[in-house]
Amino acid sequence: MSTPRVVVLDYGSGNLRSAERALARAGADVVVSSDYRAALDSDGLVVPGVGAFAACMSGLEAVKGPELIGRRLGGNRPVLGVCVGMQVLFEVGREHGVETTGCGEWPGVVERLKAPVLPHMGWNTVDVAEGSRLFAGVEDQRFYFVHGYAARSWELETYPPFPAPQVSWTSYGDDRFVSAAENGPLAATQFHPEKSGDAGAVLLRNWVRFL
C-alpha cells in the first residue's frame, strides 16, 4: 500500500510546519504548498488556520482555496480543516461587528464564544459523536484549544439516503460549541491535533488511514 500524499495548504496562515511534522509522523507523505494542482491531486488536503476569520478568508481566496475545497469535495476527496481552517468552512464569520463570507460548505455562523475568559486556551474534553472514526481510540482524551470564536450551533440538514454528519461538541464556561465534524470526505477540528500530544497523533493517524 502506497503512502498517502497530503498537502498542507499554504495560504499565508501560520502553524504550517508543526502540522507538516505531525502528519508525517502519522504516516503521510507531506508537502506544504500553495500550488493549486498539487493540492487538488493529493490524497488528502489539510486547511490550517490561525488568527482572524477575515484574514484567513482573504488568504484562501488569493490561492483559490474555496474553489479548491469545493472541487475536492465534489470528487469525494478528503479535506481536513483545523482551528480557523474549520471555521472558514461555514457560511459566515462574525468578528468585531464585521461579517465575512466563508467557504459555505456548512451552513451556520462562526461567532464569539460566550465565556468570562477568552480566548479559550488549553486542554479540554470533547463530547465525541457516537461511531466517530476520527476519534477512534481517543474518545475520552483531552485536546488543545486556542480560540475565541466557534460555531455554536449545527444547522446542516441531511436527508436519506445520505448519512448524517457526526458532530462532536465541547463546553467552555456556560457555552457549547462544535469542536469537530465528520461529513463524508470533509472533516474538521476546532482544536489543534498537532499540538494535542498522543491523542492528537492518534486522531491524525486515523485521518491518514482513511485516505
What are the residue numbers of the active site? 83, 192, 194
Retrieve residue 177's grid coordinates. Answer: 460549541
DSSP state of 119: S
C-alpha distances (whole Å) from 169 to each of 45, 127, 160 are 23, 5, 24
Cα-based angle 45, 50, 56 (whole degrees, multiple of 5): 75
Q: How many domains does the chain have?
A: 1
CA 134/CA 203 separation, integer angstroms? 6
DSSP, residue by residue, 141-198: -EEEEEESEEE-S------TTSPPPEEEEEEETTEEEEEEEEETTEEEESS-GGGSHH
Nearest-Å Rg of the Cα atoms of the chain is 16
**What pTM was estimated for this model as a whole?**
0.97
Q: How high is the mean pLDDT in each 10-residue block of the chain (211 residues)? A: 93 89 98 98 97 96 98 97 98 95 98 96 98 97 98 91 92 96 97 98 97 95
pLDDT at site 1: 64
CATH number of residue 15's parent domain? 3.40.50.880
Retrieve residue 111's grid coordinates. Answer: 461567532
Supply the range of the domain harboring residue 41.
5-210
